Structure 1
């Protein structure tokens, strides 16, 4: 009998291939052969627009899910932060690899470190003319709103492309700084470039995206593939991801919204979670903790707090908008 070779769907970027090789190596350790099947998603092809303008992060995931359901591939490797909050019927996250550092990093050119030094003028003091400040590259509204509020960095411009491309745009002066995920930089071994300076954001304050730093492997629910992937699963990471995705689902967060969630499962079995949603002109933060057995309930409670806090402002805005329409 011919030995089965499991097909793993992946994007073709250097980071995606690196993450897929990590999964393949873990499978090889338990005697399983696999091959990578590269798919070019709509998100990979439309590189000149921010993601939220043509479907959000789901554009990196949906086509893989269709291939799994059709049987063309057995599983797909995702950056968990790119996944929608709800997995489609018939599919499941079969494995989460141990979480890498979930923080964001502001990368600047050595010799142009406007963010270092400790002084307010170095840490992004607000200026009367935002365009006169350092130009920061990111297409994430979550990152942008926290940059503006916490550091007064107002000159933010869209940035697309893979990690090496973004760093090259920084080096050539198109940007004065770029915001990237620490996990991606580390996996590509691009976190110690001698001509660059790296400022790691405190993940407890400058909150990451839900699932940031996590490699998730998606497959059909039930059956041989899910059973196989459970051998690779890291339980702590699984719990943290479930809580963060549960919060996102609870607030019905769209892919383009400035929303963040960061959960940490402690050695004592307590899950501590902090979330953020931008609304009414500022970032609103909420936090809570619960034993592991109540993680889903904690996510639900935090979602309820966010919705309750923002609803009055949103309803007032809807009322004002409606009044203007009537007057017009």
Structure 2
């Protein structure tokens, strides 16, 4: 019988809190538990505190997860809620991604100040983005545009945009939906032309591998199609040693027990691009992602990665 509140770890941004509350609400519904049986524990991460430099300069994706994972490992937290695209491909010993909530919109969105669409921005416009993938894709479509690193919470980036620091910025549609801000979008980008980051739009829940009780609780809210798709995309990323230093895009779609994956790697200037597509069974999701990563790496050649991984 559960008597102590389950401790759910999260970062403190409005988006992270929205994701933690969605996780709590789904667990409440799945198990008939009242809200008081859950405690949302807010932790500040290094990635939240250091916002004046690119992630690649200060250590990569793990800066958004380290403090949460330390408390998971020590038993102070029962689970931690993350944006899946923020998760490193290698997790600390003893931890795993136990469940994924149903995936939201995978697209990127333009929020334009001087023009509504990426292609309509004036020659030489400035676009702010913290993502090397978005930066490379912007440069691929609009080599004339100046792209600057633009970190901070969604609200911070929108304030910088309103102040005129840039002509436009790009954000994930899923995050804007969760914050109730979809109305500010001036252009939804087609994933075929502007593919998302691996695992974009999916909320994941991390816990201890050996915690049978918590894993059983989370199994009830795990969305299998999202689990399979993100497993494939993360395997693709892992095969390419993907991190915040590498412009990599990937999207897996499932249909019954069939899985279709398409991936892309780019140079940071967006001028050299290699694509890969593969399909198979959802049961082979991890193998398919790894195979796609190995194949596109072989196509690109070792010289492709020199100087930017």
User: What is the TM-score normalised by the length of structure 1?
Assistant: 0.86
- What is the Cα deviation at residue 288 of structure 1? 1.4
SS in 1 for 2:182: coil
Cross-structure match for 2:23:
23
Cross-structure match for 1:300:
290
- What is the Cα deviation at residue 63 of structure 1? 1.8
Residue 42 (str. 1) matches residue 46 (str. 2):
yes
Higher Cα radius of gyration: 1
Residue in structure 2 matching 1:252, options 230, 233, 241 = 241
Runs (4+) of structure 1 exceeding 4 A deviation are: none
- What is the Cα deviation at residue 148 of structure 1? 0.8
> CA 1:199–1:114 in structure 2 vs 1: closer, same or farther (change >3 Å)?
closer
Q: Is the 8 A contact 1:271 1:290 kept in 2?
A: yes
Distance (Å, rounded) in 2 between the aligned partners of 1:115 and 1:249: 33
- What is the Cα deviation at residue 18 of structure 1? 0.7
Alpha-carbon displacement from aligned partner over 1:90-117 (angstroms, at most 9, x marks no partner): 11112100000011111113xx21527x
Residue in structure 2 matching 1:71, options 53, 72, 75 = 75
Residue 270 (str. 1) matches residue 274 (str. 2):
no
Alpha-carbon displacement from aligned partner over 1:39-60 (angstroms, at most 9, x marks no partner): 1011111011111110111100
Q: Is the 8 A contact 2:136 2:267 kept in 1?
A: no
Cross-structure match for 2:181:
190
**Unaligned stretches of 5+ residues in structure 1:** 128-132, 319-328
**Unaligned stretches of 5+ residues in structure 2:** none
Cross-structure match for 1:130:
none
Distance (Å, rounded) in 1 between the aligned partners of 2:4 and 2:61: 32
- State which drifts further: 16-25 or 147-156: 147-156
Q: Is the 8 A contact 2:109 2:188 kept in 1?
A: yes
Distance (Å, rounded) in 1 between the aligned partners of 2:221 and 2:227: 11
> CA 1:76–1:213 in structure 2 vs 1: closer, same or farther (change >3 Å)?
same
- What is the Cα deviation at residue 164 of structure 1? 1.3
> CA 1:314–1:204 in structure 2 vs 1: closer, same or farther (change >3 Å)?
closer
Distance (Å, rounded) in 1 between the aligned partners of 2:106 and 2:10: 21
- What is the Cα deviation at residue 123 of structure 1? 6.2
Residue 289 (str. 1) matches residue 279 (str. 2):
yes
Residue in structure 2 matching 1:233, options 219, 222, 239 = 222
Alpha-carbon displacement from aligned partner over 1:166-220 (angstroms, at most 9, x marks no partner): 1111112111100100000000011113xxx521111122111111000001000
- What is the Cα deviation at residue 272 of structure 1? 1.0
Cross-structure match for 2:195:
207
Residue 92 (str. 1) matches residue 96 (str. 2):
yes
Distance (Å, rounded) in 2 between the aligned partners of 1:234 and 1:107: 30
Q: Is the 8 A contact 2:125 2:167 kept in 1?
A: yes
- Superposed, 1:53-64 pairs within 5 Å as 53-64=57-68
Distance (Å, rounded) in 1 between the aligned partners of 2:274 and 2:129: 21
**Cα RMSD (Å):** 2.0
Cross-structure match for 2:142:
151
SS in 1 for 2:12: coil
- Superposed, 1:133-152 pairs within 5 Å as 133-152=124-143
- What is the Cα deviation at residue 161 of structure 1? 1.1
Distance (Å, rounded) in 2 between the aligned partners of 1:162 and 1:40: 13
Q: Is the 8 A contact 2:139 2:145 kept in 1?
A: yes
Distance (Å, rounded) in 2 between the aligned partners of 1:225 and 1:15: 24
- State which drifts further: 180-189 or 258-267: 258-267
